[in-house]
Structure formats: structure tokens, C-alpha cells
């Protein structure tokens, strides 16, 4: 047997081994797809990721109750800012008596300057 024939025989053996490995993997993939379709796999993977994220969020929430309460309060204040500004704005507005005193002070000041 010549050197070329030896390499040819070895290459054929490697090719056949690779082909056998590929065929086994392909058969395994076909069996998996027959058991569960691609959309079902995607749905299952998405659900798994959502559940993991929810578990992580619950763990973080348990550790940070104060931060979450403060954030919820800040969001509530922001959402209801207009009604709160209107209701509290009346408390800090000048009363008619204060406005009268200011104008009276100006009148006295003008009379004094003359």
C-alpha cells in the first residue's frame, strides 16, 4: 500500500466517523424537536426567565422595603402633584389682610417721602 493510499484510507475512516457523529446528533435533534416544537421551547424559555426575574425582584424587595416605600411615595406625589399643589397652594397664599397691610405700608411710605 502506497503512502497516498494510506492517507486516503485514513481520511475515509475519519470522514465516516465524523459522518456517524453528525448523524447521531441530527437524530437526537430530530427527537427533541418531535417531543417539543421550537415555539414551545421559546415559550418555556421565556417563562423560565420571567420566573427567575420575578424571584430576584422578590428577594430584592424583601431586602429593600424602605427604598421601595420611598419610591412608591415619590411616584404617588408626582402623579398627584397638580391636586396637591392646588390644595397646599391655598395655605401659603397671602391673605386679604396681608395684602391690605402691604398697600397701607406703601401709602404711608409715599406720604412720608412727600
User: Residue 95 pLDDT more than 70?
Assistant: no
pTM of the model as a whole: 0.39
Give the separation between CA 53 and CA 49, rounded to whole angstroms. 6
What integer pLDDT is reported at residue 86 of this predicted model?
A: 84
Cell 406625589, located at residue: 77
Give the separation between CA 11 and CA 5, rounded to whole angstroms. 10
In the chain, where the domains are located? 80-114
Average pLDDT, the chain: 84
Give the separation between CA 98 and CA 105, rounded to whole angstroms. 11
What integer pLDDT is reported at residue 79 of this predicted model?
A: 95
DSSP string, 62-113: HH-HHHHHHHHHHHHHHHTHHHHHHHHHHHHSPPHHHHHHHHHHHHHHHHHH
pLDDT in tens, 19-59: 999 999 999 999 888 888 888 889 999 999 999 999 999 99
What integer pLDDT is reported at residue 94 of this predicted model?
A: 65
Amino acid at each position: 500500500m502506497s503512502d497516498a493510499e494510506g492517507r486516503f484510507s485514513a481520511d475515509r475512516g475519519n470522514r465516516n466517523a465524523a459522518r456517524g457523529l453528525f448523524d447521531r446528533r441530527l437524530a437526537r435533534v430530530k427527537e427533541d424537536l418531535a417531543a417539543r416544537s421550537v415555539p414551545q421551547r421559546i415559550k418555556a424559555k421565556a417563562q423560565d426567565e420571567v420566573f427567575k426575574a420575578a424571584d430576584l425582584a422578590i428577594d430584592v424587595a424583601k431586602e429593600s422595603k424602605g427604598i421601595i416605600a420611598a419610591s412608591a411615595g415619590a411616584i404617588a406625589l408626582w402623579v398627584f402633584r397638580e391636586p396637591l399643589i392646588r390644595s397646599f397652594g391655598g395655605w401659603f397664599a397671602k391673605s386679604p389682610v396681608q395684602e391690605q397691610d402691604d398697600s397701607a405700608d406703601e401709602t404711608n411710605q409715599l406720604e412720608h417721602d412727600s
